[in-house]
């Protein structure tokens, strides 16, 4: 009985100390501004191969996923603000793989603010998407290889998508679940979406759209492999339609080196106790 209690106390002590030394760090942040401050870019700047405004991964750039034709996402003024303008079926993503002293966290929070007033959509992938890519294919549509949430421009429905692809002209979307918008949907205003994922179990939690919480069924799609790139996209029913993002952020709880050392020492202590017992 003493062994079990020692193990429990050791585990709680190690976890508690580690938690107190964890840091909620911004990994990717871009407010797509053109009016000064960190990361400001001139109107008309093509966003592909430019770095996000504030990123915890020096040297990482936005990478474009795009559909037919020349649809380069750029910085434009919309509703009096600098925004990322994404044409129909265009996506932007950036790698969040571990690099140098940075270690990709298992618990991550995503958020974005977007406008889809110029977008029509009848498919589950149409609208504004916020999530992840396992790979980015710049010869394919921006929603290809996407896992995350999309907001339908016609109804405000919140759709959970898993590995959406386009084979020739047939959409192949492993459609997970759709939740109706709570309240009266107004496509003519900006909307804000946020949620959390955990790559250990691939889970989704804390989904909030325009201040209202939504609960999806359990899922395991947000694995380490499937979250290789953080990204956003716009998808429309018709060519020439545009979506706008004025903010996109990914943050995570990243243990500091002292936290990892505490966990290691705690583990050694537990082993020693068990041997003495």
Decide if 236 contacts 120 (C-beta within 8 A): yes
Q: What is the pLDDT of residue 45?
A: 83
CATH number at residue 73: 2.60.120.200
Decide if 167 contacts 265 (C-beta within 8 A): no
Q: Which range marks the domain in which residue 2 is found?
A: 1-21+257-277
Residue 215 gets which letter from DSSP? Answer: -
Q: How far is CA 28 from CA 39, 60, 80, 96, 248, in A?
A: 12, 10, 24, 8, 8
Find the helix packing angle between 2-20 and 257-276, rounded to 10°: 170
Q: How far is CA 226 from CA 13, 183, 195, 200, 216, in A?
A: 33, 32, 16, 12, 19
Decide if 274 contacts 159 (C-beta within 8 A): no
- Range scoring the smallest mean pLDDT among 72-81, 184-193, 265-274: 265-274
Q: What is the pLDDT of residue 242?
A: 83
Tell whether 142 and 224 lie within a shared domain.
Answer: yes
Highest mean pLDDT pick, 12-16, 246-250, 270-274: 246-250
Tell whether 192 and 264 lie within a shared domain.
Answer: no
Binning pLDDT at 50, 70 and 90, where does residue 37 land? low
Tell me: pLDDT of 221 over 90: yes
Give residue-wise pLDDT tens across range 144-182: 788 999 999 999 999 998 876 554 444 445 568 999 999
Give residue-wise pLDDT tens across range 62-96: 887 765 445 677 777 777 778 888 877 788 889 99
Mention every residue, 6+ apart, whose C-beta is less than 8 A from residue 235: 88, 89, 119, 121, 123, 125, 126, 127, 129, 141, 142, 143, 150
Decide if 175 contacts 167 (C-beta within 8 A): no
Choice between 245 and 276, residue whose per-residue pLDDT is larger: 245
Tell whether 205 and 268 lie within a shared domain.
Answer: no
CA angle centred on 26, ends 115 and 213, rounded to 5°: 50
Binning pLDDT at 50, 70 and 90, where does residue 184 land? very high
Given the DSSP bridges, would you call strands 74-78 and 81-87 parallel, antiparallel or unpaired? antiparallel
Tell whether 167 and 265 lie within a shared domain.
Answer: no
Tell whether 127 and 192 lie within a shared domain.
Answer: yes
Tell whether 57 and 184 lie within a shared domain.
Answer: yes
- Range scoring the smallest mean pLDDT among 8-12, 131-135, 170-174: 8-12
Q: What is the pLDDT of residue 206?
A: 97
Tell whether 51 and 119 lie within a shared domain.
Answer: yes
Q: What is the pLDDT of residue 38?
A: 62
Tell whether 3 and 118 lie within a shared domain.
Answer: no
Both structure tokens of 57: 């991964």
Measure the CA–CA gap between 249 and 58, rounded to whole angstroms.
16
Tell me: pLDDT of 274 over 60: no
Tell whether 219 and 160 lie within a shared domain.
Answer: yes
Tell whether 124 and 73 lie within a shared domain.
Answer: yes
**pLDDT, averaged across the chain:** 77
Three-class SS state of 143: coil
Residue 265 gets which letter from DSSP? Answer: H
Tell whether 76 and 195 lie within a shared domain.
Answer: yes
pTM recorded for the entire structure: 0.79
Q: What is the pLDDT of residue 123?
A: 66
Tell whether 11 and 112 lie within a shared domain.
Answer: no
Number of domain units in the chain: 2
Tell me: pLDDT of 238 over 80: no
């Amino acid at each position: 009985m003493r062994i079990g209690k020692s193990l429990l106390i050791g585990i709680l002590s190690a976890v508690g100390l580690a938690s107190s030394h964890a840091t909620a760090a911004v990994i990717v942040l871009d407010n797509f501004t053109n009016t000064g401050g960190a990361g400001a870019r001139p109107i008309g700047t093509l966003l592909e191969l430019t770095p996000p405004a504030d990123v915890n991964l020096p040297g990482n750039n936005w990478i474009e996923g795009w559909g037919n034709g020349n649809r380069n996402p750029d910085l434009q003024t919309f509703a009096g603000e600098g925004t990322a303008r994404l044409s129909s079926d265009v996506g932007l993503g950036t790698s969040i793989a571990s690099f140098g002293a940075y270690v990709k966290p298992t618990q991550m929070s995503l958020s974005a603010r977007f406008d889809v007033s110029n977008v029509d959509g009848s498919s589950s992938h149409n609208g504004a998407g916020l999530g992840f890519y396992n790979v980015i294919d710049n010869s394919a549509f921006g929603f290809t290889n996407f896992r995350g949430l999309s907001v339908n421009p016609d109804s405000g429905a919140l759709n959970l998508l898993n590995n959406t692809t386009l084979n020739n002209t047939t959409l192949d979307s492993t459609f997970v679940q759709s939740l109706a918008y709570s309240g009266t949907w107004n496509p003519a205003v900006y909307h804000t979406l946020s949620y959390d994922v955990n790559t250990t179990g691939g889970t989704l939690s804390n989904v909030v759209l325009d201040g209202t919480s939504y609960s999806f069924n359990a899922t395991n799609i947000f694995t380490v492999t499937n979250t290789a790139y953080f990204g956003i996209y716009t998808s429309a029913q018709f060519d020439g339609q545009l979506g706008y993002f004025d903010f996109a952020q990914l943050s995570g709880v990243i243990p500091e080196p002292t936290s990892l050392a505490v966990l290691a020492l705690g583990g050694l202590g537990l082993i020693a106790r068990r041997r003495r017992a």
